[in-house]
Structure 1
C-alpha cells in the first residue's frame, strides 16, 4: 500500500510539473515512426527513453543514495516521460554516478534482467527511497561490517538484505535466485563503476543529479525547477 501511495503521489507531482513543457511540446507535432513513449534501450552505461535519433537529448547523471535525485524522480522524471519523450523529438537517458556501496548495489538491481524492466526497477527503488535510506541510517556496526568485508558479492547481498532491496525487487516480479544472480555479477559492478568514473571526468560532474543537454553540461542545474525552463527553451 505504501508503494502504491508513493507512486500515486509521484504521478500527481509529475502532472503538476508538465504545464510549461506541455505548452512547448504542443507547438510541434509528434514524429511518425514509432511508439516513442514506450521505447527503452540500454546504452553504454545507462538506459534511454524515447527516439534514439531524437534531435534533443537529455542525460541525467544520478545516484540512488542522493536525496535530491529521489526528489527529481518524483518531480521531473514523470513530466519528461509524459510530455517530451512521446513526441519523438526528445530522448531522456539515465546514467549513474556511483557514490558508495549502497548506490552500486541499487544500480546493479535496477539493471537486473531484461533492460526493458529498467524504468520500473528505477522507479521502485526511488519511490521507496525514504524507507530504505532510514534503514541505512539505523544499521548497527555489525551490519555495516558485513558491507565492508568479504567478497563483493557477499557485501552486495548483505546490503540488499538489510535495506529490503530483496523485497522491492520481489514486488517487481523477480525471484530470489534471479536477484542473487544480479548481485553476484562482479564484472557488471566493475563496468558500472568504471563508466561512472569516466563520465564524471568527461563532463566534469561533481554532484548529483547533474544534466547534460545535447552534449553540454548544464552548469548549476541540479533540480527540476532549474532544469524545466531550459528544456522548454531547447524545444
Structure 2
C-alpha cells in the first residue's frame, strides 16, 4: 500500500509537447509543486469546481462510497480488477450505492493518466480508468522516460476513441492540471487520506479490503438505512 502523503509532484509539461508555459518556479516548461499541509495555503488560488467528482450508481442512494486511488498505485490496480468489478456488478449497477472515484497524485505520471481519463468526459471516464489499471505495468514501463509514458498514455486514449486533437488539448491544459492537484489536496486533507486505495463509506474511513469485507460493511449500512 502506498503511503506518501507529503509527495513531491513534478509537472513536466515540456514532456507533453512544450505548449504550456508555467512560471511558478521561473522555468518556462517545468513547474514543481511541493504539496504538503504546511504550504498548501500558499498555493495559487484555482477553481476546483472545474474538477467534478466522477460518479457511478444511484445518485440518491442511502450509502455513498468514495474511493481515493492513484493510477500509478499497483494496489489500486489490483483492487480495480478484482474487488471493484464485483462491487460494480452487485452494488453499483444495481443502484444500491453511490460510488465516487477521486484521484490521488503521488507523481506526474498519475496526474497525466488522470488527465487522459478526464479527457473522455464523464461518459468515458470509468472505461478509460479501467484501461489505465489493466495496462498499468505496460504504460508505466520502467517509469524513467516521460516521453515514452506520454506516448503510452496517448495510445490508451486513442483506443478509447479520443483524437489527437482532443488529447493535445487535454494534455496541455495547465489550468485544469493545477485545479486537479488543488482538488486532490483539498479532498485528501478533508478526509485524512494517507494511503491508497482508501475508502470513505458514509463518512467513515476504511483501508483496502477484500470484496467479502467490503460487502459485509455495505450490507450492514444498507440495512441500517432501511
Change beyond 3 A, Cα 1:131–1:158 = closer
1:180 match: 168
In 1, are the aligned partners of 2:51 and 2:176 still within 8 Å (CA)? no
Length-normalised TM-score, structure 1: 0.68
Unaligned runs of 5+ in 1: 1-41, 148-156
Q: Which residue of 2 aligns with 1:160?
A: 150
Contact 1:45 1:192 in 2 (8 A): no
Give the Cα separation in 1 of the matches to 2:149 and 2:124: 22
What is the Cα deviation at residue 88 of structure 1?
2.3
The answer as to whether partners of 2:65 and 2:100 remain within 8 angstroms in 1 is: yes
Structure-2 change in CA distance of 1:43 and 1:127 (3 Å)? farther
- 5 Å-filtered alignment, 1:41-190, equals 45-136=52-143, 139=144, 143=145, 147=146, 159-161=149-151, 164-190=152-178
In the alignment, which residue of structure 2 is the partner of 1:33? none
1-structure distance, mates of 2:135, 2:142: 11
Structure-2 change in CA distance of 1:129 and 1:58 (3 Å): same
* Larger helix share, 1 or 2: 1
Post-superposition shift, 1:158? Answer: 6.5
Q: Partner residue of 1:37? A: none
Residue 201 in structure 1 maps to residue 208 in structure 2:
no
Q: In the TM superposition, what is the alpha-carbon distance from 1:180 to its structure 2 partner?
A: 1.2
The CA RMSD measured in Å over matched residues stands at 2.0
Q: Residue 227 of structure 1: which of 200, 214, 221 is its match?
A: 214
Displacement of 1:78 in angstroms is 1.2
Distance across 2 between alignment mates of 1:232 and 1:131: 36
| CA shift for structure 1 position 92 | 0.8
Q: Secondary structure at the match of 2:93?
A: helix
Q: Is the 8 A contact 1:45 1:95 kept in 2?
A: no
Secondary structure of the structure 2 residue equivalent to 1:222? coil
C-alpha displacement of 1:198: 0.8
Shift of 1:61: 0.3
State the Cα deviation string for residues 68-96 of structure 1 (Å, max 9, x = none): 00000001111111111233231111101
TM-score by length of 2: 0.71
Task: For structure 2, list consecutive stretches of 5 or more residues without a partner in the other structure.
Answer: 1-48
